[in-house]
Amino acid sequence: MLETDTQGRITAAQAALDELKEGGASISPRDAEQLLGDAIGPLLETSGYALERTAAQRDKGMDFLARRPATTDADAVTIAIELKHTRARMSVSAIRQLVGAAMMAGVDRAVLVSNAGFSQSAHEAIRQSLPVRIELLSYDGLVDWTRAIASERKAPDRLSQGIKMFSRFLAIEIARDPSALERLEWYHIEPTIAEIFDGLGFQVTLTPPAKDGGKDVILAFTLNGKAVEYYVEVKHWRSATKVGSGAVSDFIEVIARDKVAGGLFLSTHGYTGNAFEYLTQLDRERIRFEGRDKVLTLCQTYSKAQAGLWSPPASLREILHEKIG
């Protein structure tokens, strides 16, 4: 159960967000900025940040600075936050302005919040090699963030909590040093993958090692307003053995038998040349077969989410189907 003070912060954030969304264009940019501060301040506090509002006459392209002090396992972090409360979608020019402001302030991470959404060119721009890491966050994204914190499950028992903490450490360490992946055993990877998806907003079930029914992790989330499930199978052999057609076919059969929405197969050492020769077009649409790079990307995304603000995609399915490379 969340502590009482944290519950109060979340309630305050939700109230400010509701007012911000319902007010729409009738809210002035100045009032919208105040409401945004009221909303994200409590959320940032749950991640150890303190929110500082810049003076209106000298904000230099940033409405807020969120600061988190250094801890024993993390460096100090400062995030620049800019709100654009307008009728038009944000374009590349807004990205450039925020990058310039963040660089002038010596900040290497920034968040652009918009009520009107972002153009395709804006989304493409943040995927490029920029001197500042930019994240895009809509009002709906803020609402999702609040709900994710508010729906946090009660604290697990000490053993489960220890496993979770260890899995969190492994995911962040792999993100920092990809070679760490090669030194882990299969029984380390499965709970780590489960922890990653849990941290990215999925409802997660880690199946028992001995009787997993052909899937290691079960993911539940909402897709187009409907609750769906995806299966994840992980193969990580220290022998560097590649996955063949037999394991691929077995996974396809499990997906079909259980009538789930789709699946993600992760093989850290790749696949044999004939692994996919029996895949139908439907199989390729419902199931993703990925390798080491996908595991690394998941670890890096999780690490970013754990560091503070993370802008989730419109659908969690995008995380599963994101193309690598």
- Say how far apart CA 190 and CA 73 lie, in whole Å: 23
Asked whether the predicted pLDDT for residue 11 surpasses 50, the reply is: yes
Number of CB atoms found within 10 A of residue 162's CB = 11
Q: How confident is the model at residue 4 (pLDDT cuts 50, 70, 90)?
A: low
Q: Which residue in this structure is represented by tokens 């993370």?
A: 310
Residue-range domain boundaries for the chain: 4-150, 158-321
- Write the pLDDT tens digit of every residue in 159-212: 777 888 999 999 999 999 999 998 888 888 999 999 999 999 899 999 887 566
Q: Is the pLDDT of residue 314 over 50?
A: yes
- The Cα–Cα gap between 63 and 191 comes to 39
Sort strands 77-84 and 109-114 into parallel, antiparallel or unpaired.
parallel
CB neighbour list of residue 300: distance below 8 Å, 6 or more residues apart: 175
Higher pLDDT, 133 or 233: 233
User: Average pLDDT in the 115-136 region?
Assistant: 81
The pTM (predicted TM-score) of the whole model is 0.57
Equal fold, 4-150 vs 158-321:
yes
Sign of the Cα pseudo-torsion (134, 138, 143, 148, in order): negative
Q: What is the mean pLDDT of the chain?
A: 83
- Determine the CATH number of domain 4-150: 3.40.1350.10
Check pLDDT > 80 for residue 143.
Answer: no
Q: What is the mean pLDDT of residues 140-162?
A: 65
CATH 3.30.465.10 for domain 158-321: no
**Nearby residues of 224 by Cβ (< 8 Å), 6 or more positions away:** 315
Please compute the mean of the pLDDT values over residues 268-273 and round it to a whole number.
Answer: 92
Q: What is the pLDDT of residue 2?
A: 44
Q: How confident is the model at residue 154 (pLDDT cuts 50, 70, 90)?
A: very low
Q: What is the dihedral of CA 314, 6, 111, 69, to 10 degrees?
A: -140
Mean pLDDT, to the nearest integer, of 14-32? Answer: 82
Res. 67: pLDDT tops 90: no
What is the sign, positive or negative, of the torsion defined by CA atoms of 237, 239, 243, 245? Answer: negative
